[in-house]
Structure 1
Amino acid sequence: MVSSVDRRAVIVGSGALLLAGHGSAKGAPMTSESVSDSPADLHDGWRVGSPAGHGFDPALLQDMRRRVADGRLDNVHAIIVARDGVLVYEQYAAGQDQNGLEPAKHTVFNATTRHNGNSMTKSVTSLLVGVALQRGWIKTLDALVLDYFPEYADVRTPEKSGITLYHLLTMSDGLDWSEFKPPFDSLGNMRGAKDAYRYVLERPAAAPPGHTYNYNSGATELIGAVLRKTSGKSLDVLARDELLAPLGIEDVEWNRQLPDGQPQASGALRARPRDWAKLGQLVINRGVWNDRQIVPSAWIADSIKPRNNGPGMFLYGYHWWLGRSFCRGRVVEWAGAMGWGGQRLMIIPDLGLVALVHAWLPNRMNLPETILLNEFEFILPAAMPS
C-alpha cells in the first residue's frame, strides 16, 4: 500500500517504475547485457522485441543497467517493460525477499522466481469482481454488503446498513479503520482475529458511506468473501479458473491465509514478474489476451476511471490507483496496482506502456522518489524520446 499522503506520494507511485535490478540464477533464463537485445522468448505468451524497435531511447535504459551493475540501486529485484503488447525489457537482481509475514531472506531473482505482490493483489480481486458481474454471480455494485452476511445480523446498525460493494471497491465504506497506524493496527488485528469478517464489520462507522476515502484492507477481504459466497469457489480457485489460467499463469502461490483458511484477497498473491506484467497488459487491452475476452471491457474502463479522492493527489478507481507524472513537458496519466515495499504495476494507456517493478523497500521510499525526480533518466523518459 502507499502510506505517504503528500504531493511526493504521486512521485513515489510512478517513480518505482524507474528502478531496475541485475543478475540471474544459474540455470535460469539470463538477462541480456545490452538493451539492444530482446528479452528471451520463454514461450509464455509474451511476444518479445527490442526497446529501440518499440520507440525507446536505448541509451537511457543502458545507463540504468550500468548504474545497477555499479551497485547504486539496491534491493530492487525485477523490472519488466512492455509496449504495444511486446515485452522489450527485463532485468533481475539479488536482494532481500519478503515472503508473506516471514523475515526477509537473500534471494537471487530471475524469470522463474515468484514475488510478493502484497496489495497489488487488491487489483486482481477487482478484476474478479468484473468477471462475477458478467457471470451474474453479483448483480450490481449497489448491493448492500450486509445482505451477503446474514450470519452477522447482530452487527447491523443504521450507519453500516447502507454500505455497498461500490463503497468497498472505492475504499469509501466509512468504517473506522487504521491501516498500519496508531492508535491501533486494524490490518494486524484482522489477520489475527478468530473471525476476520466479523472483525471488519464490527468496526464502528466513522463517516457515512461514500463520503470519505480511507484505505482499508478489510474492505477487500469482504469483497473476497462475497466472491466466494456467490461463485461457490475459494478466491484462489476462482482466480485460477477465471483469470490466471486464461492468461497462461500457472506458477502462483497464495502465501497468506485468514484464520478460516481462506487466501487473503487484500495481499496474498505471489507470481512470476512476467505474469504480473500480463495482468497489466490485460488492462491495457481492455480485458483481452490473445484474442480472448477474459474480463469485460466495460469493467476495465470503469475500474481505471476516477471514483474517489485518494491520499494526497492520488485518485482511486475500483482498487486501482490513478495518477499522473510530468515528463518532457507533458503530463502522463497512469493507472497502477501498488503493494507495500515497492511493488508497482503501472499502466500508461496513451503510451501503450506496461511497467512492473518488484523490490523490498519497506522503510525507505526516498530511492524511487529521487530517481523519478530527474526527468532525463530511465523508463518513462526513455519511452518518450525527444
Structure 2
Amino acid sequence: MRDQFSRFTILGAGLVLALSISATNLRAEPGQQGQACGAPSSIDDGWEIASPDSLGMDGAQLCGIAARLKQRATSVHSVVVVRHGKLVFEQYFPGYDQPWGQPEGQHEFTATTKHDMRSASKSVVSTLVGIAIDRKLIEGVDEPVLKFFPDRQAMKQPGWEAIKLRHLLTMSSGMKWDEARAWTDPNNDEPHLTFEADPIGYVLAKPLAAPPDVLWTYNGGGTELLGNILERVSGKPLETFAREVLFQPLGITDLEWKAYKNGKIAAAAGLRLRPRDAAKIGQLVLNRGQWNGQQVVSADWIAQSITPRFQAIGYFGGTLFYGYQWWMGRSLAGSKEIKWVAAFGWGGQRLFIVPELDLVMMTTAAQYGQPKEGLAAIDILSNIVIPSVRDAR
C-alpha cells in the first residue's frame, strides 16, 4: 500500500510528525468557526447539505471526533460524512503531510484543499474500467491482457497468455510482484514504476509465480496496466478520459492525476481530490452507479466490483476481502456486525461505504509508514460514526 517515491523520508517525517502533534492540530478549519461543530461549508460543488440530526444521526456524538483523534495523537487531516445522499459533517485539521510533488511539512486543510488519494486511486481506475466496458471500448473482464499490447509480444513471459483483465482487477494474476518491502529495497517492485523509462514494459516482463486465480498478491503494477489499457482503448490520456466520463458527471472539476518521475501517469496512486469530492465516488457506489439520476457506470459493474473474490491475506488483518480494486470488511457496532466497502490509500486515506446504513465516510491523513496506519479511520467509523446512526434505513 505504500505508494510514492518520497517514502524514503519516512524516518525524518516521523520525527517531524511527533513534534508537530498538539492540541492546535485539532482545531476546526477557519471557515467553520462560528458554525455548529462539523457543519459542512456551502461551496457549490453539487452536495446538498443537511444536519446530522435531520437524517437520523446524533450530531453531538459526531462532534466527539476531534477529541477522539486527539486522544490517539493521530495525523488525520479530514473527516467527511454523508448520509442519505447529503453531506452532514466535515471537519479539517492542520498537520504534517507529504503531498505528491509539493514540499513536505505543515499544511492547512479546508473543504477546498486537494489531498493525495494514494492507492485509493486504484478503486477509481476500477470504476473507469467499468465505464469503458459499458461503452463497448472493452468487451469484458475476460479479455486477455496481452490483446491490448500487440506491440509488446516479444517481452511476454510463459503463462501470460492466460492472464485476463479480471485477474488484474482482483490482483490474482500470479505475476511475481512484491511491494511490501522497504522503498529502498532493490527487490521492491513498486519503485520501478517510478524510475523505469518503460514501466509498462517492466510489468509485462515479470515472470509468473503462480497460475492466475491461485494467489492474491497486492500489486500496483497490474493497476498500471489497467490505466494504460484505458488510454489505449479510449485514445486519450487517462486523466482526460477520467474527467470526461467520471469526474465531470459527478461535478468534480478540481483534481490532479500525478505522474511518476519518468513522466508516466501514476494510475495506481497519483490521484488528488478534495475529500468531499472523493466522497462522491463513494456515493456513486452506494447509488449503484447513479449520480443525480444519471447512470454514470452500470449497476451491474458496481455489483461485480464489490463482490468479495479473494481473502486479502497479509494486509490489514485477516477479515478483509478484495473485489475489483475495492476492499470489503466489517465493523462491530455494539453487538451488531456492519459490513462496508472501502478504498484504501497509503498514509490513512480511507473511503468507506456502508450500504446497510446508507452512509459514506471519507478520511485523509499522513500516517505514512506508521505501524497502525488507517486505524484512526476505522476507529472513528466503528466507534463514533456508525453508532451515531439513530434510525434504521
Q: TM > 0.5 between the two?
A: yes
Q: Check 1:369–1:157 CA distance in 2 against 1; reply closer, same or farther (3 A cut).
A: closer
Alignment of 1:20-59 (within 5 A): 22-25=27-30, 29-30=31-32, 34-35=36-37, 38-59=39-60
Cα distance in 1 between the residues matched to 2:123 and 2:307: 13
CA deviation after TM superposition for structure 1 residue 339, in Å: 0.1
Partner of 1:100: 100
How far apart are the structure 2 equivalents of 1:256 and 1:371?
Answer: 27
Unaligned runs of 5+ in 1: 4-19
Distance change (3 Å), C-alpha of 1:263 and 1:82: same
Q: Distance in 1 between matches of 2:177 and 2:110?
A: 37
Residue 244 of structure 2 is aligned to residue 246 of structure 1: no
From 326, 332, 343, the equivalent of 1:320 is 326
For the 8 Å contact 1:126–1:319, the answer to whether it is kept is yes
Amino acid at match of 1:174: G
Name the residue aligned to 2:307. 305
Offset of 1:103 from its aligned partner? Answer: 5.2
CA distance in 2, matches of 1:31, 1:127: 37
Alignment of 1:73-222 (within 5 A): 73-100=73-100, 104-181=104-181, 184-222=187-225
**Distance change (3 Å), C-alpha of 1:370 and 1:106:** closer
Aligned pair in 2 of structure 1 residues 370, 295: CA closer, same or farther (>3 Å)? closer
State the match for 1:332 in structure 2: 338
* 2:348–2:377 CA contact under 8 A, matched in 1: no
The whole-number CA distance in structure 1 between the counterparts of 2:117 and 2:320 is 20
TM-score (norm 2): 0.86
Please name the residue that 2:12 is paired with: none
Give the counterpart of 2:226 among 215, 223, 228. 223
Distance 1:374 1:383 in 2: 13
Deviations 1:25-56 (A, max 9, x none): 5xxx4266534x74232221111111111122
- Aligned residue identity for 1:268: G
Q: Call closer, same or farther: CA 1:372–1:151 in 2, change over 3 Å.
A: closer
Q: Quote the residue 1:287 is aligned against.
A: 289
Q: Note the C-alpha offset of 1:99.
A: 1.4
Post-superposition offset of 1:367: 7.3
Task: Give the distance between the partners of 1:370 and 1:341, measured in 2 at CA.
Answer: 11
CA distance in 2, matches of 1:278, 1:375: 18
Aligned counterpart, 1:16? none
What amino acid sits opposite 2:51 in the alignment? S
The answer to whether residue 384 in structure 2 is matched with residue 382 in structure 1 is: no
Residue of structure 2 equivalent to 1:265: 267
| Matched position secondary structure for 2:134 | helix
Aligned to 1:64: 65
Q: Is the 8 A contact 1:328 1:384 kept in 2?
A: no
2:278 aligns with 276
SS at match of 1:87: strand
Question: What's the CA shift for 1:377?
Answer: 3.7
CA distance in 2, matches of 1:72, 1:33: 25
> Please, which runs of 5 or more residues in structure 2 have no aligned partner?
4-24
Q: Distance in 2 between matches of 1:156 and 1:371?
A: 41
CA distance in 1, matches of 2:240, 2:274: 18
Change (3 A) 1:327 1:95: same
CA–CA distance in structure 2, aligned partners of residues 296 and 221 of structure 1: 23
Alpha carbons of structure 1 residues 374 and 255: separation in structure 2 relative to 1, 3 Å: closer
Q: Is the 8 A contact 2:311 2:320 kept in 1?
A: yes
Name the CA distance, whole Å, in 1 between partners of 2:159 and 2:173: 10
Instruction: Tell me the equivalent position of 2:365.
Output: 359
Length-normalised TM-score, structure 1: 0.88
Mark the CA change 1:306 to 1:377 in structure 2 (over 3 Å): closer, same or farther: closer
CA contact (8 A) 2:350 2:377 kept: no
> Alignment RMSD, CA only?
2.4
| Counterpart-to-counterpart distance in 1, 2:333 and 2:209 | 39
1:183 shift after superposition: 6.5
TM-superposition CA deviations, 1:323-353 (whole Å, max 9, x none): 1111111111110011000000000001000
Q: Distance in 2 between matches of 1:56 and 1:117?
A: 27
Q: Which residue identity does 2:161 align to in structure 1?
A: S
Whether contact under 8 Å (1:179, 1:187) holds in the other structure is yes
Once the two structures are overlaid, the 10-residue window that deviates more, 241-250 or 369-378, is 369-378
Q: Paired residue for 2:7?
A: none
How many residue pairs are counted as aligned between the two chains? 364
Secondary structure of residue in 1 paired with 2:344: strand
Q: Contact 1:254–1:269 at 8 Å: present in 2 too?
A: yes
1:293-343 deviation per Cα after TM superposition (whole angstroms, max 9, x unaligned): 111111011101112221222110100001111111111111001100000
Contact 1:235 1:262 in 2 (8 A): no
State the Cα distance separating 1:101 from its structure 2 match. Answer: 5.8
Task: From the superposition, tell whether residues 88 and 235 of structure 1 become closer, same or farther in structure 2 (CA, over 3 Å).
Answer: same
CA displacement at 1:180 relative to structure 2:
3.7
Q: Deviations over 1:271-309 (max 9, x none)?
A: 111101111111101111111111111101110111222
Query: Does the 8 Å CA contact 1:327/1:380 hold for their aligned counterparts?
Result: yes
Deviations 1:69-113 (CA, angstroms, capped at 9, x unpaired): x67544211110001101110000101122126552211100110
Q: Is the 8 A contact 1:79 1:357 kept in 2?
A: yes
User: Equivalents in 2 of 1:258, 1:21: separation in Å?
Assistant: 34
1:344 counterpart (331, 350, 372):
350
Q: Kindly tell me: are residues 96 and 286 of structure 1, through their superposed partners in 2, closer, same or farther at Cα, counting changes over 3 Å?
A: same
Kindly state the Cα deviation for residue 191 of structure 1 after the two structures are TM-superposed. 1.6
